[in-house]
Structure 1
Amino acid sequence: MHIGLIGLGKMGFSMRERLRRNGIQVTGFDRDPVVSDVGSLAELAAELPPPRIVWSMVPSGETTAAVVSGLAEVLENGDLVIEGGNSRYTEDLHHAGMLAAKGIRYLDCGVSGGIWGKDNGYGLMVGGDPADVSAAMPLFDALRPAGLRAESFVHAGATGAGHYAKMVHNGIEYGLMQAYAEGYELLEAQNIIDDVPGILRAWQSGTVIRSWLLELAVRAVDEDPGLTRIAGYVEDSGEGRWSVEEALSAGVPAPAITAAVFARFASRQEDSPALKLVAALRGQFGGHPVRPADPAVPGGNGGQASAAEQAVGDAGSPE
């Protein structure tokens, strides 16, 4: 089988290598000429035998929309596009409709495995017509972990189902990471704990919270004890937000995922206006001490009240 692969970043590049390793011929296209096999979408289409299969692995949103529009111009009736980025499932319906008008088939595929997928294999969640899924099955077999088809591949449903499943997957991922992170901070905060990395390692086997994410947490703290080399600023890809929006729309309670998304927002604020107001309100209704914006302010006491002030402030406090 010979396919085209668009987008040779961290994920796409690794996928190309795994596909080739497993007997799939791949012609890749990327804006970076150093990694690209061809110079344009038209050249990519010309390299592939019909009916063509082209897999897109570019960022969701405008970039994916531009790629799909471009493929609609260079592909032909009977060709197949697999959209493997993290698009919102509602966009799949639009993309599939645009391509269907020209007789081009469409599958959406949520891909999980990160930069480790090249060696370990990927988890795949696919949406679309069963006949199209069957036609692309050699690709899915090449990408998934060997011998684990039932555990690593699912035809989730109709168009959009693959990306919907990946959205929920990533929402769960947000919650899991936040729980591990809060546990890590609790361990670091207690003086009786001497070996935080050792505790994380001890959790890796036999415990109910063992997971690949925990293994990666161990790796992270081993490589950077105390995590002193990185800032606590966390981006989000959008899928956590979409999960929360879907939960609100469906009336499904999702407090853990929602809290994890908001925690990422909080990580980007050096000095939260909201928490400034909370501090001010505590001072207003309970007489609690307020830490000055500049700890060096004369008489500011670094935000720490004296014992007498603390006693007065706490007396009868509703909090």
Structure 2
Amino acid sequence: MQQHPIGLIGLGVMGRNLALNLADHGHTVAIWDRDPEAITRAVAAQPEGRLAGAATLADFVAALARPRQVLLMVNAGAPVDDVIARLQPLLEAGDVIIDGGNSLYTDTERRAAALAAVGLDFVGAGVSGGEEGARKGPAIMPGGPAAALARLQPLFASIAARVDGEPCVTPVGPGGSGHYVKMVHNGIEYGDMQLICEAYALLQAAGFDTDAMAAVFAGWNAGPLRSYLIEITAAILAQRDAETGTPVVDLILDKAGQKGTGQWTLVNAAQQAVVVSVMGAAVDARVLSSRKDARVAASARLQGPPPMLAVPPAERAAFVERLGQALYAAKIISYAQGFDLLRTTSEQRGWQLDLGAIARIWRGGCIIRAQFLSRITEACATVDGAAPVAHLLEAPYFAQALNTAQGAWRTVVAQAVTAGVPVPALSAALAYLDASRSARLPANLLQAQRDFFGAHTYERVDRPAGQAFHTLWPAVQG
């Protein structure tokens, strides 16, 4: 029996495409799924015979070369635990299990500890790129034991996307760091998508039809905003329904779904005391969109201006330019918040994440791949012995970009508010910028309130830092 260097369990869209990707790059792969028909379809899709289906898990394990490498592509949560429980008795010390799904990083660390106790390595590998990325080359973010990551690196590098000849994969760090980085990636993705949707809403309010909007996004994709999400937005807006001739986007119900990774990021950011307000606005927007019936009912009760912007034809080009600047500036804030969260967690957990390397591998394959990620790699680099910036807003390129764009950005947000067009992510990003650049905030009053009702004390501006003071406030009638 041929011994295969890698085995893959779970032949849904992502698993099947990763198996085919591995086969395309010369690897023979043992495959198994609880659905025998899924195995049959996958084998048939690879006519060169590099995918070997197994009837049982025992047969699957027996077909693997030692030390065995098993890639799980199953749904996060209980299904991962179930497969591990069935697989573990069939493996032996030195084998490695790789979870390529969107698992919560704390689950990954729990599983890694349990498997390490019986001599098995466990790697949590974030895989981004969706169906197309899995098939043609994703970005891969593996975390786990250093020796296991080193052993897997050539395999991952062979199937990952490439930018400037470099594979979009890097060993992230220990424990659940790989899945953590993928979680934050998805949080940034939420913010990116919401910002684009708000730009779309403003173009709609300004009277642009879908063909004109498609042209706007295509134009943006030729400049600093160039990215996968901008590119597919242009394609989406240009697509017509074959049956009715109507733009497909106009036929889609305005109720957004989510699988939870954005919410995980918000919870973790709150635990780490890191602001990710753009992601928060994006998650909130999805939740509000899901309440379609309530929104329709409220639209008949609650008053507000019609969502229309007065943009004469002669001013359209200027409006598009301002909106593009606002979108770019808010995107900078969104990524800055995400990288702040990565840095904070890395320091607290001792992961030593290489943020520049993470930005580098995100340039290709993944959903948030974008031209300006190269700028983030530069900002996170150590130059001539100088430490990298502690926050992306400190990087000269991004500071200059924000200073240049904020006039247009403020105009766009003001227009949206006046016209009643909700732009929660654009607004949250601008508020973050304004708070971050404020030498003084109204938190002095907040501290006074806390001291009033809870004797929480405060510091004084005219006394040395670190000293605590309390005022005997007058009684009031509640």
Task: Give the TM-score, by structure 1 length.
Answer: 0.82
For residue 241 of structure 1, report the CA deviation from its aligned partner: 0.3
- SS in structure 1 of the partner of residue 59 of structure 2: helix
Question: Is 2:205 the partner of 1:200?
Answer: no
Deviation at 1:24, TM superposition (A): 1.1
Give the Å deviation of 1:149. Answer: 7.1
Instruction: Name the CA distance, whole Å, in 1 between partners of 2:264 and 2:163.
Output: 33
Task: Indicate the residue corresponding to 2:94 in structure 1.
Answer: 78
**Residue type of the alignment partner of 1:203:** W
Corresponding residue of 2:380: none
User: Residue in 2 aligned with 1:60?
Assistant: 76
- For residue 31 of structure 1, report the CA deviation from its aligned partner: 2.2
CA contact (8 A) 1:99 1:105 kept: yes
User: Is 1:228 matched up with 2:250?
Assistant: yes
Q: Which is further off, 84-93 or 148-157?
A: 148-157
Q: Paired residue for 2:273?
A: 251
Q: Does residue 12 of structure 1 match 2:15?
A: yes
Q: Is 1:127 the counterpart of 2:146 in the alignment?
A: no
Deviation of 1:181 (Å): 0.7
CA displacement at 1:192 relative to structure 2 = 6.0
The 3-state SS of whatever aligns with 1:54 is strand
Deviation for aligned residue 1:120: 3.6
Instruction: Give, in whole Å, the separation in 2 of the partners of 1:50 and 1:155.
Output: 22
CA distance in 1, matches of 2:300, 2:56: 56
Structure 1 regions of 5+ residues with no counterpart?
283-287, 290-319
2:292 is matched with which residue? 270
Are residues 192 and 96 of structure 1, via their aligned partners in 2, closer, same or farther at CA, if it must alter by over 3 Å? closer
SS of residue matched to 2:172: strand
Q: By how many angstroms is 1:238 displaced? A: 1.0
Structure 1, residues 47-76: CA drift from partner, whole Å, max 9, x if none?
112211000011101111111222212211
State the shift of 1:146 in Å.
4.1
Q: Are residues 267 and 92 of structure 1, via their aligned partners in 2, closer, same or farther at CA, if it must alter by over 3 Å?
A: same
SS at match of 1:157: coil
2:195 is matched with which residue?
A: 179
Which amino acid in structure 2 is aligned with residue 198 of structure 1? A
Contact 2:21 2:136 (C-alpha < 8 Å) held by counterparts: no
Aligned residue identity for 2:187? G
Distance (Å, rounded) in 2 between the aligned partners of 1:86 and 1:35: 21
Structure 1 position 228, deviation (Å): 2.6
Aligned equivalent of 1:215: 231
CA deviation map 1:140-190 (0-9, x unaligned): 112212465756112111110000000000000000000001111111122
Write the letter of the residue equivalent to 1:55. Answer: L
> Quick check: 2:236–2:248 contact (8 Å CA) kept in 1?
no
3-state DSSP class of the match of 2:38? coil
Equivalent residue number for residue 239 of structure 1: 261
Structure 1 CA distance, aligned partners of 2:288 and 2:208? 29
> Would the aligned equivalents of 1:167 and 1:242 in 2 still touch at CA under 8 Å?
yes
- 2:24 pairs with 1:21: yes
Structure 1 segment 134-145 matched on structure 2, within 5 A = 134-145=150-161
Q: After TM superposition, give the deviation of residue 138 of structure 1 in Å.
A: 2.3
- Amino acid in structure 2 at the alignment position of 1:244: L
- Structure 2, unmatched stretches of 5+, are 40-52, 241-246, 305-478
Contact 1:141 1:149 in 2 (8 A): no
The equivalences for 1:93-132 within 5 A come to 93-132=109-148
Give the alignment's TM-score, normalised by structure 2. Answer: 0.56
Which of 164, 177, 184 is residue 161 of structure 1 equivalent to? 177
Residues 121 and 144 of structure 1 are in contact (CA less than 8 Å); yes or no, is this contact kept in structure 2?
yes
Q: Is the 8 A contact 2:255 2:292 kept in 1?
A: no
Distance 2:142 2:264 in 1: 18
Answering whether residue 5 of structure 2 is matched by residue 2 of structure 1, we say yes
Percent identity of paired positions between Structure 1 and Structure 2? 36
Distance verdict in 2 for CA 1:130–1:10, change over 3 Å: same
In the aligned structure 1, how far is the partner of 2:109 from the partner of 2:135?
32
Contact 1:266 1:272 in 2 (8 A): no
Distance 1:159 1:253 in 2: 24
- The CA deviation at 1:5 is 0.3
Moved more, 171-180 or 24-33: 24-33
